[in-house]
Structure 1
Amino acid sequence: MRKALCLLPLAAAMMLAGCVNLAPDYERPEAPIAAAWPQDEATKNAHVLAEGLAEWADFFTDERVKKLIAMGLENNRDLRAAMHNVESARALYRVSRGQLLPSVAAVASESAQRTPRRVSASGRTVVSHVYSANAAMASYELDLFGRIRNLNEQALQQYFVTEAAQRTAQMTVVTEIAQAWLALGASKQQLKLAEETYRSQLESKNLIERSYQVGAASLMDVEQVLTTVASAKVAQTGALRAVSQSRNALTLLVGAAVPPELEPETLPDGITARLSAASSVPSEVLLARPDIAAAEARLKSANANIGAARANFFPRIALTGSLGYSSPEFKDLFAAGTRGWSWAPSISLPIFTGGQNVANLEAAHASQKAAVANYEGAIQKAFREVADALAVEGTASDELKAVEELAAATKSSYDLSMERYKSGADSFLDVLVSQRADFAAQQSLINARLNRAASAVTLYKVMGGGSQLPRPEEEKSK
């Protein structure tokens, strides 16, 4: 019964803790964007389903890309750093949450004192000892006005910010590996085009040199074909360098050497499934983005900071106590009559702080308003990025079709010019102009195909695709 009575003050204190929360009620700000995506000539052909945002393993259809993304999620150093930052933030949140409960420690001590005979009441030198063993509670603040809970809420929201950063890092790894893989395929195709052009120019050079030897071509024709051969060699060298740089970029993202069998030999037509968003409402779609989640977490943290600043105007009640045993003889430490306790509550009421509490509250309100503005700005920026990606997605097919027609026309023009030159109807300068136009058009065709394939990946990214973190059961299965 006595033990229960001793614990009553502590139980009552913990029940009183957290009675009031002075933080403002949180309400998500209205998204300052249109209720629908832009509907114009550029976006009318962009069709997005509203059946939920797919996981990256379901969105990408090429098995080579899937394997590289899996390698990247395992090996990418930026993603590893983001994961460790989340672990650190989670640990710091647990530290903050621990302040909501009393801290109790077992303390054992000995105190020895020698009293000289000149000051001793008995006239003899006395050596005294006091041994103690206690369960001590350090100063525990009763959180009557929510100060500690709001500080704990700030730590929680900071954890969510770092988790959003991890989601951003994962989204970047997933989508950029796909983009880099496509870029490598386009670079290889550009290299193949440059090599074919170089071989074709060498054949033209040999033909014109033979024609010159028999008087059927002029020296000007020889000099002009030499310039085309040199230009083709320059283009081939540049394409070779681009392949190496694209491979290096993919290797960095994957975090390990890319197996040759996983590299694309050419640019594929498509590596993704049909894109589906979480909703047809822009404000709901954008909530899937990790940068929006981070901005909202910072806003909630600023909201909690107001509650902590308001609590500084109210009293703080702290409790300190201990329960244990003490004895002058170590052997009698736990004997009858040695048990004791101490209970030391205290209260602190701010009277004059030089305006610090007022200034802290004003700063908290200003930070909250800035966080609202940053959140709204993040929403608007995200809306613009999605709208731009929809415009690219809506025009990429038409652009590709137009470039294909251009490439076919320039190829026919080049072939016709070469035939007319061989028959003596045109000069080699006409052939040179047609050849350059054809080469540029073929390069544009490869770039247009790359843009078409990459546009779906970009749209998936700006809608938050690839940022879904593995569920705990998935991590355990790994």
Structure 2
Amino acid sequence: MPHRLARAVLGLGLGAGLCVGLGACAVKGATAAAPGPAPSATAATPAPVGPAQLPPAWAQAGELPGTAPDAEALARWWRLLDDARLDRLMQRALAHNSTLAQAQASLRQAQAVRRATEASQAPAVSASAGYSRSRSAGSTVPRAEAGLSAGWSPDLNGAQAAARRAAEADESAALADVDTARMTLAAQVGLAYLGWCDARLREELQRRYAESLGQTLVLTRWRAQAGLDSVLTLEQARLAAEQALAALPLLAIEAAQAEHQLAALTGQTPGAVQALLAGPAGWPDERAALQGLATGVPADLLRRRPDLRAAEAAVQAQWARRDQTRREGWPGLSLSGSLGFQALSLGALGGAGTGVAALAATISGPLWDHGQRDALVAQQDAALDLSRLQYEAAVRTALQEVEDALVALRGHSVRLEPLARAADAAEALAQTTRQQREAGLVALTDQLSAERSLQSALLNLQAGRALRTQALVTLYQVLGGGWAPDVAAPGAPPASAPASSPATAVQDHATRS
């Protein structure tokens, strides 16, 4: 009995190996007979945007150098602002942001789909065993069986290779989406932090303004009691002081909302981010970020912007799906084999005369499908056209974003100088008016007007600083800053090499098909 079972197991193993070996021989011949390259897509498909079709330089770059920016500085641009609070927020956001975590989960899903696609195209072997009793014509017939079966569908028509290319392109797109999420998150945290700093600083300016008007009210009350000012003048001073105080809660609301946004971006509940924001209000030092800024050339965006790489990978994936759909209409080959034992009892399995074996090869293909395959290919052609148009739109939008950020940075930088001079002039005017008011040379309305002018000038100066730094952060984002490659996608070009255009990728895929 043990010897019979041993012979049975050995025979099953040899049979399975025979099935796989025959499959390998068959696929070698099938590969040699595989159809040629796929024809190009519809003639109506527009040519995708490539490096040769982009302008040689940025129109709004001005005096900024056109050399490629430093990769490390671009990837961690916020460190150039030399702000410890911002560094802490970035570290927390990159580790706990939910949107980034969702993109990473999508990447793991795409990787699993790619592995499953590859595994589904390999030979499959299964084992089975069973025992049954059937009764017929008054007699009971027992039956015991055990065996192995193997099946494989060699890639005779090339559809499986196209499916693998589509899965690899989907994985590359998912990886680019993770990098895009990092790039977007860094800019969102930076802009939200600047909004919080701006609100805190404007709140401090407003508090000082309110305190100044409060002192003016006290002085005016004394003068009114001494008969030097009228009741009307006293009421004017009270009105100005109360209006200044009324503006403080609005700025506090703005700062709190920016704080709540930072909490959401860093994966915390509102209020929990206060520990990361501890300390007096300040403004990041953007001098190093401005001095180290280099724009490169428009063609660099095809390599640096992960959202463009994702759009390109979508074109590659759609081309592969179109090719897969077309090739699935061609004849396909399937191999199957089985080896086992059948006997009237479990003890008889493996004995003489109980072995059974089968081996089959089938070639099948559609003869007439009423145009269904053509319609499916036409559907994929339209989807390919759509993905190419979306890629073109993404490239042109990226170009617009960079030009907009460049002109905004230059304009706000130029605007800061007259704003600073205006603030100095308003300070001198307010100081002179205070002295003249104390000497009784000017009316209260003149002093209040000078104080309002000073407050307006200081707020405008702070707003100008905020707009310039926000434009700087936006420029770093649209240039492709805020992420660094740390995972290699299958078949993806290295980060230091420019990515191919969709047209080149489509041509390469067709040649390999």
Identify the range of structure 1 (214-223 vs 47-56) with the bigger mean alpha-carbon deviation. 47-56
TM-score normalised according to structure 2 size: 0.82
2:314 match? 298
1:34 aligned to 50, 55, 65, which one? Answer: 55
Give the direction of change, closer, same or farther, for the CA distance of 1:416–1:17 in structure 2 (3 Å limit).
Answer: farther
Candidates 116, 125, 129, aligned match of 1:95: 116
CA shift, 1:33, in A, is 3.3
State the shift of 1:307 in Å.
Answer: 0.9
Q: Distance in 2 between matches of 1:54 and 1:48?
A: 17
8 A Cα contact 1:23 1:303, kept in partner: no
Q: Which shows bigger deviation, 162-171 or 297-306?
A: 162-171
Instruction: Please state how far the C-alpha of 1:295 moved relative to its aligned partner.
Output: 0.6
Counterpart of 1:243 in structure 2 is 255
Matched, 1:135 2:148: yes
Cα distance, 1:205–1:276 mapped onto 2, change above 3 Å: closer
Q: Does 1:183 align with 2:205?
A: no
Query: What is aligned with 1:15?
Result: 28
What pairs with 1:107-186 in structure 2 (closer than 5 Å)? Answer: 107-117=128-138, 125=139, 127-138=140-151, 140-186=152-198
Aligned residues of 2:315 and 2:391 also touching (Cα < 8 A)? yes
- Displacement of 1:21: 6.3
Match for residue 491 of structure 2? none
SS, match of residue 133 in structure 2 = strand
Residue 76 of structure 1, aligned match among 97, 106, 110: 97
Q: Identity of counterpart residues, as a percentage?
A: 26
CA distance in 2, matches of 1:250, 1:441: 29
AA aligned opposite 1:133:
A
Which is further off, 17-26 or 305-314?
A: 17-26
Distance 2:292 2:315 in 1: 31
1:229-266 CA distance string (max 9 Å, x none): 12211221212222222221212211233353654621
User: Could you tell me whether the CA contact under 8 Å between 2:341 and 2:350 is conserved in 1?
Assistant: yes
How many angstroms does 1:30 deviate by? 2.2
* Deviation digits for residues 28-72 of structure 1 (CA, Å, limit 9, x no counterpart): 742553221114xxx414346414422644751433322221111
Corresponding residue of 1:462? 478
Q: Write the deviation string for residues 325-368 of structure 1: whole angstroms up to 9, x where unpaired.
A: 32222112123443332123222221221211111111222221
Alpha-carbon distance between aligned partners in 2 of 1:91 and 1:64, rounded to the nearest angstrom? 38
CA contact (8 A) 2:57 2:297 kept: yes
Q: How does 1:390-469 map to 2 (within 5 A)?
A: 390-469=406-485
One-letter code of the match for 1:94? R
Equivalent residue for 1:120?
none
Distance 1:16 1:167, change over 3 A: farther
CA contact (8 A) 1:21 1:146 kept: no
Unaligned runs of 5+ in 1: 118-124, 473-478
In structure 2, how many angstroms separate the alpha carbons of the residues matched to 1:292 and 1:305?
20
1:341 aligns with 2:354: no
Task: Deviation per CA, 1:87-143: give whole Å up to 9, x if none.
Answer: 1121112112222212221222234321123xxxxxxx2x223322222124x3332
Q: Which runs of 5+ in 2 are unaligned?
A: 1-10, 42-46, 489-513
Aligned to 1:322: 338
Aligned-pair Cα RMSD in Å: 2.7
What is the match of residue 475 of structure 1?
none
Aligned CA distance change for structure 1 residues 388 and 104 (closer, same or farther; 3 Å): same
* Aligned residue pair count: 459
Q: Structure 1 residue 144: deviation in Å? A: 1.6
Deviation, 1:8, is 4.0
Residue aligning to 1:197: 209
Q: Any idea what the Cα deviations from partners look like across 1:195-237, whole Å, max 9, x if unmatched? A: 1111101000111121122222223322221221122112212
Larger mean Cα displacement after TM superposition, 228-237 or 395-404: 395-404
Aligned AA (2:357):
W
Contact 2:20 2:150 in 1 (8 A): no
Q: Report SS of the residue matched to 2:358.
A: strand
Worse-matched range after superposition: 53-62 or 393-402: 53-62
1:210 aligned partner: 222
SS of residue matched to 2:71: coil
Contact 2:68/2:296, CA 8 A, preserved across alignment: yes
